[in-house]
Amino acid sequence: MRAQPQASHFVAGAWAEDRAGAAFESVHSATGEVIARLHEATPAILDRALDAARAAQPAWAALAPVERGRILRRAADLMRARNRELSVLETLDTGKPLQETLVADAASGADALEYFAGYAPTVTGQTIPLGGDMAYTLREPLGVCAGIGAWNYPIQIAAWKAAPALAFGNAVVFKPSEVTPLSALALAEILAEAGLPAGLFNVVQGGGAVGSALVGDARVNKVSLTGSVPTGRKVYAQAAEGIKAATMELGGKSPLIIFDDADLENAVGAAMLGNFYSSGQICSNGTRVFVQRGLRDAFLGRLAERAATITLGAPLDEATQMGPLVSAAQAERVLGYITQGRAEGARLVCGGARVGETGAFVAPTVFADVTDEMVIAREEIFGPVMAVLDFDTEEEVIARANATEYGLSAGVFTRDLARAHRVVARLEAGTCWINAYNLTPVEMPFGGVKASGVGRENGHAALEHYTRIKSVYLGLGDVDAPY
Ligand code: NAD
C-alpha cells in the first residue's frame, strides 16, 4: 500500500520539496505499513508559501465574487468526481473505514466548496443614513489565513477552512496534522486544476513547530486551528500576541441526554453514532451519555446487543463498519483510559480491549455506572469509549451536563418537544441536536463555547470570521470646523 505524493508540499501552484526538512512517515494504522515518506517544511518552504500567498491575494480579492465562486464550484465537482480515490487515500491515512470516508469526508469538503461558492456573490455591505451625511460598509477579506488541521477529518478540515477563506477573497497556507498529511495535498491539486491561481492555497507539512512558525509570522493575518484544547491555548495566545483574528475549533466532552420517554432505538443508534463513528475520534462526540433511570436497563441491554454486531476490520473492505484508531499511540492512550475506568469502578458493559494482533484496533467499549468525578467522564478520550451515567430529574441533568470546562456540543432525546427546547436553551454548547446526533451540514454554523473554542465554521456565520468590515463615512455637506 503506497500513497506517496509527488512531493511533501504544495506551494505557489506547484509541488515543492526541501530535503533539508526533518523526514517523517505516514502510516496505515490497520497494518502499521508506511504509506508515504515526507519532509517537514523548512523556513525556506514557509517563506515561499507565505510570499506566494501575499502576492496572489490582492488580485484574487479584486475578482468579481461570482468568478471566485465559479472556480470553487468547479473544485467541488472535481472532488465529487474523484470521491472514491480521495476516500481511499483518506482511509489509508486515517484508518477510518471506506464505508465512512465514501460518504463523510471529501463529500463534506465538496459541500463546503459548493456552499461558499454560492454564498460569495451574495455578500453585501450596509448603507447607513445619518440625517444628511451617510455611511456605508464594505466587507473585505482579511488577507492571508493560516489553517492548521487535526488528524480525524483531514480533507474535511482543510476544505472547511479553505472554502470560506477563498470564497471571500483570502489566500490560505494550510498545515495538515503531521499524522495525516496526505489529503490536503490532493485538495491543493484539485483547486489548482479547477483554475485557482497559484499561491492562493498552499500546503506545508510539519508538526507543532511549523504550525507555530506560521501563527507567529507577520505575513499571516488570521489563524484557524482545529485541534485539542491544550494546543488551542498556545495557538490562541500566540495569535493574540500578533493581534490576529483567530478561530479555535477544539475538543469536547459533550453530553447526550436521553429522557425515559425517548424512542429507544433512535436513542441507542445516536449514542452509538456519537461514540463509535470514526472509532470515536470526533470532537463533537456525545461521550457522556446521561440516561434517565427509568430507561437505563432497556437502553444498556439494547446498546450491548447492537454494539456486538459492529463489524470491525480492514478499513478498505467496504463491509467494515469500524476501523482502527489513527495510530498505535492513540490506541495506547485509549486503552489507558479504559484501564482507568475499570480501576475507578465503572462497570464494563462491552468491549474494553484491543482487537487483533496487529493494528491499532480497540473494541467498541461501553461503561455503565459512571459517575461525574471519574476521569473517563471528565477527559476527552478520543476513542470508542462511551460512558453511561444515570440521572433522575431535568434540573439535575442540566447542571451535570454543564459541569465541564468544555462546551462544544450536546444532544437531547425525548418525545416531549417543549422539554427538548427548554433543556437546549440552558445547555452550554455551541451546537445542540434534538432527536439526532453529530450531523454537521455545511449550512449550519459549527463551533464551541467555553474551552471548546471561539468562532464558527460553516453557515452564514463563517463570513464574520473570514472578512472584516470597513466603514466609509460620506460627507455630503460642508465641513463644520470650529476654527
Ligand atoms: P493537536 O492539538 O495535537 O494538533 C492539532 C494541530 O495543531 C496539528 O496540526 C498540530 O501539528 C498543530 N500544533 C500542535 N502544536 C502547535 C503549536 N504550538 N502551534 C501551532 N500548531 C500546533 O490535535 P490532534 O490530536 O491532531 O486532534 C485531535 C483534537 O482535535 C481533539 O481534541 C479533537 O476534539 C479536536 N478536534 C476539534 C474539532 C472541532 O471542530 N472542534 C474537529 C476535529 C478535532
Ligand 1 nearest atom to the CA of residue 215, by list position:
20
Cell 467555553: give the residue.
450
Ligand 1 nearest atom to the CA of residue 453, by list position:
41
H helices of 295-382, where?
296-307, 328-343, 375-378
Residues near ligand 1 (Cβ within 6 A): 148-153, 175, 177-178, 207-208, 211-212, 215, 226-228, 231, 234-235, 249-252, 283, 380, 382, 408, 448, 453
How many Å apart are CA 197 and CA 64, to the nearest integer?
14
Residue to mutate, 175, 210, 226, ligand 1, most ligand atoms under 8 Å from C-beta: 226
Nearest to 233 by CA among 222, 246, 242: 246
How many Å apart are CA 161 and CA 222, to the nearest integer?
11
Nearest to 314 by CA among 324, 326, 306: 324
Ligand 1 nearest atom to the CA of residue 330, by list position:
25
Which residue's CA lies nearest to atom 41 of ligand 1?
249
Rounded to 5 degrees, what are φ and ψ at 135? -135, 160
Nearest to 359 by CA among 321, 317, 330: 330
Are 340 and 354 in contact by the 8 Å Cβ rule? The answer is no
CA 287 vs. chain centroid, Å, equals 17
Ligand 1 nearest atom to the CA of residue 283, by list position:
34
pLDDT tens digits in sequence order for the chain, 483 residues long: 899 999 999 999 999 999 999 999 999 999 999 999 999 999 999 999 999 999 999 999 999 999 999 999 999 999 999 999 999 999 999 999 999 999 999 999 999 999 999 999 999 999 999 999 999 999 999 999 999 999 999 999 999 999 999 999 999 999 999 999 999 999 999 999 999 999 999 999 999 999 999 999 999 999 999 999 999 999 999 999 999 999 999 999 999 999 999 999 999 999 999 999 999 999 999 999 999 999 999 999 999 999 999 999 999 999 999 999 999 999 999 999 999 999 999 999 999 999 998 899 999 999 999 999 999 999 999 999 999 999 999 999 999 999 999 999 999 999 999 999 999 999 999 999 999 999 999 999 999 999 999 999 999 999 999 999 999 999 999 999 999
> 150 CA to middle of ligand 1, Å?
4
Which residues belong to the active site? 161, 249, 283, 457
Residue to mutate, 46, 148, 178, ligand 1, most ligand atoms under 8 Å from C-beta: 148
Q: pTM score, two decimals?
A: 0.98
> 317 CA to middle of ligand 1, Å?
28
> 297 CA to middle of ligand 1, Å?
37
Which residue's CA lies nearest to atom 8 of ligand 1?
177
